[in-house]
Chains A and B, each alone.
Chain A
Amino acid sequence: MRLNSLYSELQWLPRAPEDFAARLKAAIGSSETDVGRALQRLANYALDLNRLSKLASAIDKAKSGGRSLQPLQPFRLAVLSNSTIDMIVPAMVATAARHGIALEVIQPSYDQVAQEALAPDSRVNSSQPDAVLFALDYRALPLKLSPGDAEAASATVEGGIAYLQTLRDNIKSNTHALCVFQNFVPPAEALFGSLDRAVKGTLRSLIGEINRRLADFVTESGDVLLDVNALAETVGLAEWHDTQLWNLAKFPFAVEFIPLYADHVARTLAAVRGKSRKVLILDLDNTIWGGIIGDDGLEGIQIAQGDPVGEAHLSLQRFALELRQRGVVLAVSSKNDEGIAREPFQKHPEMLLKLDHIAVFQANWEDKATNIRAIAEELSLGLDAMVLVDDNPAERGLVRELLPQVAVPELPDDPSWYARTLAAAGYFEAVTIAQEDLKRAGYYQDNARRASLRSSAGGVEAYLASLEMTITFQPFDATGRSRIVQLINKSNQYNLTTRRYTEPQVIAAETDPEVFTLQVRLADTFGDSGMISAIICRLSQPGEWEIDTWLMSCRVLGRRVEHMVLREILEHARANGIRRLTGTYLPTERNALVKDHYAKLGFVKTGEDDSGASRWELRVEDAWPAAAPMKVVSHGFARPKETLSV
């Protein structure tokens, strides 16, 4: 077994069927509303380069024929590269469909990096891309070797970074694009040997230094890093660099890895769009422990240190726990009697996972699709936020068939590779760390506790009062920015318009004098929910604010947060001489929840079109919505205040 075939063959995805071409034809023939979904399903197989190209031309054809690719989300990516990417571009288009994106690639002529970045009217700058990928290879950098000369080495590194910064600054001044930088893969060939790492000015050490500087630079500037170096290290430098293909046609790396590279590009764009998964659902028997708890009993299952099979399963538990610490919610779905299934969590001393770590525990004899639906419902998250890890191929097949939105990785027979396979799939790719992420798993558990209090506390108002909530309003600012961008790109359900904005666009909103923004935080007796709502209003005409964006985390549904938000908006509207608020509801597959949002808040409907989109209006002077029992803190605006409303 070649260990890197896990990566080069995308082994977490099911094998492509023999009749792939016929299925592709059928997908293209499907009805207007299904074609996007049908193409996405086909993209979810492990596709080789040939099949990726076929899928890409089908996608291009559907797009140029004016067909809607819903629910795939449009994304325009410009790629700046000093190498031949003609075979990579179709792979990216096809792979993007796997991640829910209808990708359009702007590909300027070969090796026109500086020209494209610097000229305001270049193809890249004039196409207004959503993002620009700097797909540069180390051979694009002005690298002068100076082994042993630290001063010259440092000048070379500065020169390389300055070059990248210049490219970026020019793209930024000409477009609103997000910049995605891939880092640099050193060649396999050493000059001295091991010394190359230690001595300044060798190629290995120069590239290492530039990669480190680039990572810092990207973190500070709010751009995005694509760690191609890690990818190459993972599969091996000798496999990655195909020097013959570079000499023949300037291919940047071995064609064998194009599907893998494309998947990493696509998962990064998906993360930018908030499409990363949020929940890891674990099967129990032969997945997180060896053996079957119902048959083998507490003493019989394999989970101990010192037992190789037990350690294999423990490494999956460890990985799940690490994911939970960075904000991924854990759930269990198992065909078992609940009491028996819970026993190892409570009593087995070697179990790393405890009941406290599991937000929803479903152990019963229902089918897994039903259970996963129940988990999604309980967490108020979509099925497309779920990943199921299950050793049983039949269960995996059933869930893929009935719930194609759920990601279900193929697993090898040997549990030693479970954790690696799950990690390789990259379901939880993130482009930023928000403080909220680190606490998120806890929020969902707090919610379960709130729900049990609600059933006992008699009367919703009394319940809400008992929560001792504090709501905090601020305009958008630098501190809240990464979470605001995340909310804008992730919220699907409580989202009136589902407009997605990149970080540069959010920064623009912060400073635009005609834009009024709100970030909203909520805390209660159980804990701090963090930032849970974001609002953008734009001055649409004198005296009128159009509510461009109104979204809220579903964690705080039923707390009357939206009423308090409206009160806050009205207060600022009055202070700014605004007489009318207008709003729009744009229906999507996921936001039926807020169809009546504006009606419930007292807005008057002024229009509705065939798609179900509706327009609403509220006269500021007539609007005095009742307050919910919570303490209001408002700061960062022109006039700070702190009041208690009852």
Chain B
Amino acid sequence: MDEGQIYDRLAKIFHEVFEDDSVGLTPELTAKDVDGWDSLTHIRLILTVEKAFKIRFSTSEVGKLENVGDLVALVKART
């Protein structure tokens, strides 16, 4: 799966999890930039991504995620 496809699918997941269709995904986007992206929503986001791509991240990977670029790289490495 190339990065473009991953971004497309992630955008849908973000819109659903944050219930906000206006969130635009860039590699630099972080939790600080999005309303409602707290620690619990972070877990919901990770769970939804794992389910959608049928992958499971390791505990340290989840902890180390800094921005959307990291997330895309992780997904890319696993799919």
Contacts and interface: CB of A to CB of B under 8 A. Distances in A.
Interface in A224-255: 244-245, 247-249, 251, 255
B16 A249 contact: no
Interface in B30-63: 39-40, 43-44, 47-48, 59, 62-63
Interface residues of B, number: 10
A540 interface: no
B43 A248 contact: yes
A84 B42 CA distance: 14
Contacts of B48: 50
A251 B43 CA distance: 10
A155 interface: no
Interface of A (DSSP majority class): helix
Contacts of B39: 249
A251 B59 CA distance: 14
Chain B contact surface mostly? helix
Given A244-B59, A247-B59, A50 B16 contact: yes
Nearest to B46: A248
A162 interface: no
B40 A249 contact: yes
A244 B50 CA distance: 13
Which among A84, A244, A247, A248 has the greatest number of chain B C-beta atoms within 10 A?
A: A248
Interface string A80-114: 00001011000000000000000000000000000
A342 B16 CA distance: 54
B16 to A, nearest CB: 7
A84 B43 CA distance: 11
A405 to B, nearest CB: 32
A247 B47 CA distance: 14
A87 B59 contact: no
B59 A249 contact: no
Contact of A255 (B16, B47, B62): B47
Contacts of B44: 87
A245 B43 CA distance: 9
B40 A87 contact: yes
A245 B63 CA distance: 12
B62 A84 contact: no
A247 B63 CA distance: 11
A53 to B, nearest CB: 9
A8 B47 CA distance: 16
A255 to B, nearest CB: 6
Q: Which of A87, A244, A249 has the most CB of B within 10 A?
A: A249
B59 A248 contact: yes
Instruction: Pick the most buried of B16, B39, B47, B62: most chain A CB atoms within 10 A of its CB.
Output: B47
Given A50-B16, A255-B47, A248 B40 contact: no
A315 B39 CA distance: 48
Nearest to B48: A50
Contacts of A244: 59
A86 B40 CA distance: 8
A248 B16 contact: no
A525 B39 CA distance: 68
Nearest to B44: A87
A247 B58 CA distance: 11
A499 B59 CA distance: 51
Contact of B62 (A50, A87, A248): A248
Given A50-B48, A247-B59, 5 more contacts: A50-B16, A84-B40, A244-B59, A248-B62, A249-B40
18 contacts: A50-B16, A50-B48, A84-B40, A86-B40, A87-B40, A87-B44, A244-B59, A245-B43, A247-B59, A248-B43, A248-B59, A248-B62, A248-B63, A249-B39, A249-B40, A249-B43, A251-B43, A255-B47
Interface of A: 50, 84, 86-87, 244-245, 247-249, 251, 255
Interface of B: 16, 39-40, 43-44, 47-48, 59, 62-63
Ranked 9 nearest A-B pairs via Cβ: A249-B43, A86-B40, A244-B59, A247-B59, A255-B47, A248-B62, A248-B59, A248-B43, A87-B44
